[in-house]
């Protein structure tokens, strides 16, 4: 049994993927070109956004956005305490200061009340300028954009959606990747829309930000390749990856996202009441990049992990540490926030096998093992 079964996905899509790879190789264009442009156009259409700027990975996509918005020294970037380090790592590298916020105990996403407390704390300290919020759709579940947007507007902050895990998710009729001023996604292989290597993209309706990102991804190019207008990155999406992603995007839209909902519903039905499950609010759809369950405490989480190992059922912990506990962020001001929800979440969470090709029989085996540990 695999935690995320990319081989099963390849078996289902082999004919189209092999043809797409052959098309690129025989066409002889390996960097940029029609496949990349077509993919960007298809993502714009799928998410109803004006611009998609593909790039080498989701972390670079965030870096391109932070650079395009001019985030840097003296700026505070507000980030949920439970996420992958990439959400705020590039802003930190650019000289900005991450300010972590606690998470909501039900959705595990950025808690709007904690966000507001942290903005107020930064303002009263007066050392940093509140500048941007990076809202993460954790495990594919969209953050609370109605509440977060109001806060962003009230304090004049840039709102970035980290949709690295949520391609295919929805929030009140709008697609994840289209829920903020600008957004990013990751095409890391195990993401809901993953390629066969690294890849990522920026999505935005803002013409100016899109133009800056297009320049930054190719060494800050100006009107031509050798007239550089600014410092940038070398962060293009490989043409082969774009061709693979076009096949996978179609599968995601045609049936994978539906199969993810079905598999999640089966887990929900079997495990509700036995474990704490991530709340997907009404009028939202999670892309279920992961399916996580919360044990009662750290000890019972340990017992569950041991039992799953015994039964050869792969499990992961996303994430063992909240961001404010990472070595790299030691010394960053927590502004007195207790981070009680984030710490409790990290001590109890377990991700169990989940992907659109999970067979009901396999799922029953996982459910049985998990229920033995309640």
Residues ≥6 apart with Cβ < 8 Å to 77: 66, 71, 88, 91, 96, 97, 98, 99, 131, 132, 133, 134
Of 9, 54, 57, 295, the residue at the interface with ligand PLP (CB under 6 A) is 57
Pattern 86-105, ligand PLP, x by CB under 6 A? xx------------------
Question: Does residue 118 bind ligand PLP (CB under 6 A)?
Answer: no
Q: Does 54 bind ligand PLP (CB under 6 A)?
A: no
DSSP per residue, 52-111? EEEES-HHHHHHHHHHHTT--TTEEEEEESSS-GGGTHHHHHTT-EEEEE-B-TTT-SB-
- Under the binding rule (CB under 6 A), the answer on residue 200 touching ligand PLP is yes
Q: Nearest distance from residue 318's CB to ligand PLP, in Å?
A: 8
Q: In what order do the strands lie in the sheet with 284-285?
A: 174-175, 170-171, 284-285
Is 278 a binding residue for ligand PLP by CB under 6 A? The answer is no
Structure tokens of 357?
């090709």
Does position 9 bind ligand PLP by CB under 6 A? no
Least separation in angstroms between CB 336 and ligand PLP: 26
Which residue, among 269, 267, 264, 293, has the nearest Cα to 356 in the 3D structure?
Answer: 264
Does the footprint of ligand PLP cover residue 209 (CB under 6 A)?
no
Q: Whose structure tokens read 């690129």? A: 24
Which region among 78-86, 144-152, 297-305, 348-356 touches ligand PLP (by CB under 6 A)? 78-86
Contact between 187 and 43 (Cβ < 8 Å):
no
Q: Which is nearer to ligand PLP, 81 or 162 (CB)?
A: 162
> Which one of the spans 51-59, 231-239, 302-310, 320-328 is the region binding ligand PLP (CB under 6 A)?
51-59
* Residue 203 in contact with ligand PLP, rule: CB under 6 A: no
Determine, following the binding rule CB under 6 A, whether residue 192 of this chain makes contact with ligand PLP: no
What is the nearest approach in angstroms of ligand PLP to the Cβ of residue 61? 8
Q: How many CB atoms lie within 10 A of CB 6?
A: 14
**Nearest C-alpha neighbor of 38 from the set 23, 52, 28, 26:** 52
Residue nearest ligand PLP (C-beta atom): 58
Q: Least separation, in Å, of the C-beta of 83 and ligand PLP?
A: 5
Out of 66, 69, 84, 171, point to the residue binding ligand PLP (CB under 6 A).
84
Token pair listed for 90: 């590039």
Among 40, 46, 52, 58, which residue sits at the site for ligand PLP (rule: CB under 6 A)? 58
Question: How far apart are the C-alpha atoms of 14 and 16, rounded to whole Å?
Answer: 6
- Choose which of 9, 52, 63, 83 interacts with ligand PLP (CB under 6 A): 83
Residue 315 phi, psi dihedral angles, 5° rounding: -140, 155
What's the CA gap between 117 and 228, in Å, rounded? 42
Tokens 């799928």 appear where? Answer: 46
The set of long-range contacts for 20-23, using a CB threshold of 8 Å and a minimum separation of 24, is: 20/243, 20/244, 20/246, 20/247, 21/240, 21/243, 21/244, 23/243
Q: Which stretch binds ligand PLP (CB under 6 A): 52-60, 90-98, 108-116, 349-357?
A: 52-60
Question: Considering only residues 133-172, where is the footprint of ligand PLP by CB under 6 A?
Answer: 136, 162, 164-165
Least distance from ligand PLP to the Cβ atom of residue 198, Å: 6
Query: Contact positions toward ligand PLP, by CB under 6 A?
Result: 57-59, 83-84, 86-87, 136, 162, 164-165, 186, 188, 198, 200
């Amino acid at each position: 049994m695999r935690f995320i079964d990319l081989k099963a996905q390849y078996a289902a899509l082999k004919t189209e993927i092999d043809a797409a790879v052959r098309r690129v190789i025989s066409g002889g264009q390996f960097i940029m070109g029609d496949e990349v442009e077509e993919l960007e156009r298809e993502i714009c259409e799928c998410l109803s956004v004006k611009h998609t700027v593909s790039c080498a990975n989701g972390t670079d996509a965030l870096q391109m956005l932070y650079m395009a918005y001019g985030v840097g020294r003296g700026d505070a970037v507000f980030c949920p305490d439970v996420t992958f380090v990439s959400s705020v790592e590039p802003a930190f590298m650019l000289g900005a200061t991450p300010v972590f916020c606690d998470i909501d105990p039900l959705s595990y996403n950025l808690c709007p009340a904690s966000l507001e407390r942290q903005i107020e704390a930064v303002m009263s300290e007066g050392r940093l300028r509140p500048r941007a919020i990076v809202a993460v759709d954790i495990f594919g579940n969209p953050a609370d954009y109605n509440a977060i947007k109001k806060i962003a507007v009230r304090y004049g902050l840039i709102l970035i959606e980290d949709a690295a895990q949520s391609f295919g998710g929805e929030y009140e009729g709008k697609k994840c990747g289209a829920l903020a001023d600008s957004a990013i996604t990751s095409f890391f292989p195990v993401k809901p829309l993953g390629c066969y290597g690294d890849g990522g993209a920026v999505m935005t309706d803002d013409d100016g930000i899109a133009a800056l990102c297009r320049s930054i991804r190719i060494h800050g190019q100006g009107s031509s390749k050798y007239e550089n207008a600014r410092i940038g990155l070398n962060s293009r999406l490989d043409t082969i990856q774009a061709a693979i992603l076009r096949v996978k995007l179609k599968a995601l839209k045609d049936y994978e996202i539906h199969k993810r909902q079905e598999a999640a519903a089966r887990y929900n039905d079997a495990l509700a009441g036995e474990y704490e499950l991530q709340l997907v609010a009404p009028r939202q759809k999670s892309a279920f990049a992961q399916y996580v369950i919360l044990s009662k405490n750290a000890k019972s989480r340990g017992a569950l992990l041991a039992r799953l190992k015994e039964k050869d059922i792969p499990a992961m912990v996303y994430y063992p540490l909240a961001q404010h506990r990472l070595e790299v962020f030691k010394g960053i001001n927590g502004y007195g926030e207790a981070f009680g929800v984030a710490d409790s979440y990290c001590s109890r969470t377990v991700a169990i096998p989940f992907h659109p090709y999970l067979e009901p029989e396999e799922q029953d085996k996982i459910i049985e093992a998990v229920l033995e540990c309640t």
